[in-house]
Amino acid sequence: MTATDPGPFQLRHDTRGLPQAVETLAKALPARDLKNVLAQANRSSVHKGSTTAFGSMSPKPADWYCFDTGDNDTTDWYPQGMAASSEAGRTDVKALAVTWYWKPAGTATERGIRISFLDLATGKYRHVLLVEPKGTSYSAINIHAGGVAWYGDLIYVVDTAHGMRVFDTRHIYEVKGDDDKIGLKGGKYHAFGYRYVMPQVDGWTAAGAARYSFAAIDRSTSPHLFVSGEYVDPADEPGKTGRVARWALDPDDTLVSGAGGLAAAVDAFTLPAAKIQGALSYKGRWYLSQAASSTKNGSLLVVPAGKPAEVRKMPIGPEDLTCWGEKNQLWSVTEFKGRRVMYAVPV
């Protein structure tokens, strides 16, 4: 990890009319807190179930949860981001959160992005559709959702070229609409059959020439730090590896910002390798998940300050990273059809 100019990593607070639109939805739809959503989880994971996701990895992960068959085998949705209630500093729930993006084969109506909350106490999980509120309605969000960070009540989802979209676990609403509609139609709210929607409440727009491919929270520092960086495919950008940056966090769960709502990264680093799908710093070390292919094991690069990276094997298709500090574990998720699993490895 080589220190580099953090200047390109700037985010401008961009609330727009989101709070007003969310307030409109709050008056029209019943609110449900995260505990209620977890209590109504309708899908069952398999704790330490059988999976081909680990490939030649030895030893196997310290812990893992397999998605149900439908989510493991679908070619319409792909898991990307990983966050945890420990990362958020939550003590009221013990849960994992995974973002997915819609990428169906052929032509189909855009269904946007969703987030899955897994209750570690029961092993059950539920999908919640993430939506953009507009006036009295809302729409699907067509982004990659490659990374997610959870801090307090807020969920930060990366929007690659545009910055961050912010959601709030205090703003989850129940809908009972049709499977093929989205938003307010015919006097009724719909969400493609999903029971719950979480509308975007805030945003941070990219104000510099950087991309946002993954996200995490470092709770081992004071103040806590928000981490994000760039995925680079060497086939598209020969000779480049990407960068990672960190921002200070306020106690109110938001990025520290100055004049004009501009949040500037406190530091930035050049990554030691390309195809990094997730990154976080923890207790002075960097942890980087590196993809290989849909059939080959990925890698975890562990980089102590000022030292070369130690390379460990990871499952096939490793994505975003989060830290469960109390357990000294890193959690991630794999993306490929038939090999989807949420898993933990030691720090």
203-226 per-position pLDDT tens digit: 999 999 999 999 999 999 999 999
Number of domains in the chain: 1
In this prediction, residue 128 has a pLDDT band, given cuts at 50, 70 and 90, of very high
Report the candidate in 26, 61, 59, 65 with the shortest Cα–Cα distance to residue 45. 65
Q: Which residues pair with 113 in a beta bridge?
A: 101, 130
Question: How far is residue 240's CA from residue 142's CA, in Å, rounded to a whole number?
Answer: 27
Question: How far is residue 339's CA from residue 55's CA, in Å, rounded to a whole number?
Answer: 10
**H or E segment at 38?**
helix 34-39
Provide the pLDDT for residue 147. Answer: 98
Average pLDDT, integer, range 161-165: 97
At 135, list the tokens: 């006036």
In this prediction, residue 65 has a pLDDT band, given cuts at 50, 70 and 90, of very high
Question: Helix H segments across 74-180?
Answer: 85-88
pLDDT value at 106 more than 90: no
Q: Alpha carbon of 158 to those of 3, 64, 126, 163, 330: distances in Å?
A: 23, 25, 21, 6, 20
Residue 204 DSSP SS3? strand
Answering whether pTM is above 0.85, one says yes
Contact 63, 344 (CB under 8 A): yes
| CATH number of the domain enclosing 55 | 2.115.10
Sign of CA dihedral 151, 153, 158, 161: negative
Average pLDDT, integer, range 108-113: 95
**H or E segment at 119?**
strand 113-119
At 73, list the tokens: 């085998």
Provide the pLDDT for residue 105. Answer: 83
At 133, list the tokens: 């509120």
Share of the chain above pLDDT 90, in %: 97
- Predicted confidence (pLDDT) per residue in 214-259, tens digit: 999 999 999 999 999 999 999 999 999 999 999 999 988 999 999 9
pLDDT value at 28 more than 90: yes
CB atoms within 10 A of CB 253: 17
Provide the pLDDT for residue 298. Answer: 98
CB atoms within 10 A of CB 120: 19
In this prediction, residue 306 has a pLDDT band, given cuts at 50, 70 and 90, of confident
In this prediction, residue 148 has a pLDDT band, given cuts at 50, 70 and 90, of very high
Q: Alpha carbon of 347 to those of 120, 258, 337: distances in Å?
A: 20, 34, 27
Q: Which domain holds residue 72?
A: 2-346
Chain position carrying tokens 């949420």: 342
The per-residue DSSP string of 130-146 comes to: EEEEETTEEEE--S---
Average pLDDT, integer, range 1-20: 97
Q: Which residues pair with 138 in a beta bridge?
A: 133
Average pLDDT, integer, range 197-201: 98
